[in-house]
A and B are shown apart, each in its own frame.
Chain A
């Protein structure tokens, strides 16, 4: 392990921590613009985090220690996820751990704990949120796995690092299977990050809320951590999307210069990604919760079709 590798790892983590709230702010601001509102500004998430960290955390009497340590665990999971996805460079120590299945497992771990913590206090909303979260999760996870498998078929490996390097190194080629996987990924992305049309992150409507119901009992620094964690999750998912479908520009060596070179490209991609997300959210309507299985089944099936097309066309395409 060289110094530059360590440095790039450190760089990646800091970039994730700082860029994640910014991405959230950017999307929120864009949505506001698209709806002809002036919007809170793209730095609003930082202000919220700052405010929440300075507040006292209030706990329910019935809360157990599980309730207390869950925010740290979630935050840790999400940070780790962001840290192992190759965002700027593929050559850093933790990249070895960036296995597609491990990644899905990491998200699942976070999901289980947040659901447990939501039920811990024993309020109706928490339980309701946990139920819905698991409901979405158990449909989204296999779909995400299928998407990752479709991509890994091309690289013959489930390691994200290998997927990205093979994508970058080989001559340009169009993979129809990736088109399907890409569509499926967008659907999963929306469901997993509690975006419209599956969930609306900016309301507390008990009929429809999923994510907000889960964290309803948290306050102060715990809430701040959870909010940060959810913006990290958004960031991590965006990075996965970029790594799988638009990896060009990610540095394959660990040198500082190449990192500085990769950073603006990555930020540009994130900005574009934010625009796409904001557009999707503006142009679609929140769907009823009973339609969510339909939505996610479509995602799953798209990923399966992607895999099938790879098998049919793959032999000739490469």
Chain B
């Protein structure tokens, strides 16, 4: 059996199994089991890729190259660690009466299905299937965000659905236009929706159609990336859903959506022979950085605050890919990886902190270091990592992005710096009293799962200091594919 098949089949099977027995007490363990199996399959797939290079599967419908392989592994890994984190977290929520048994079943089943959709979106070679998978991922997360059934969570889910539904519809229109452009140049008998086929003929695609298609695709998938001004759904969905879902939304879904944008950008660049696509992305990226950073100043809810930080980081990454070139692309890929690791770690820590304090309002969360030193340190470290403090990986990627911005777009560098500085001030000044302030809160009933937090931070730290050879190799290759 091919490893790719395993990667996709495991979460799908998991979703079915958990849909049947997810309400049982050991549903959470089964969830962890399936996520771990998916991760193992992904590792297996990775070793295969390391050995054999890019592969096609199933009549070219699936396609693994250096651009998506690390994202597949990353997705499977964070999917696994989040399942570990949600084991105690969701148990506490259940104990507190926020979740019923049947909703636990829905939660676990949808969690696996969500993982499946993201992996499908990442591995598929078909632009149409990519769209279908993105839409399906939206649907599953809508259910996950609304799982508490509180007025606020329903509101957030409704907004999420409507906004992303509209956005993703634009992406479908873009896909249709892409198909239209492709039909013109691709030989009969060759599937014009396959990305690899499109990539082969991208210089022949009609520039007018491609420019229009890219605008629609960027707006469509950009809504899911959370690019300003299409970001309104993101803070609500992050703040009102369960914290494990906030972690996978920020850590994974945004990445997958951005991956879709990048694939489209490669095609648009090839057809347009100019920097139209790049400039659009630079514009959206910078706007998102500024909107994200300045919105941070007004936050009182801890999860909302970190979701705005996600918008800011997605802006940085979009900006990097918009600039293009080997260094900026490399930095963008690295930033995607490290941000996913650090942000999910932060959300794990935030989840436990908020659970301890019984609130998400930051003024009421104090003195974590006294109640639970590990949670406190985890939050502090995670915050430092996400803010781009030197030893962590984000520092390295942001540094590279800034230096290449100074080379290529000197005017943009100060804007970027301003955004980073504002974000630093806003987040640090709020996290510091939460960790070190005075408090009298009790300990939690179930020991928090802190292994994922430190595992992620450790990896983020490692990537800041040393990038393994094969990962470096992939990044360089992927950066070359993205080009620009």
Do A and B interact directly, with beta carbons closer than 8 Å? Answer: no
Q: Which residues of B contact A (CB under 8 A)?
A: none
Residues of A that sit less than 8 Å from B by CB: none
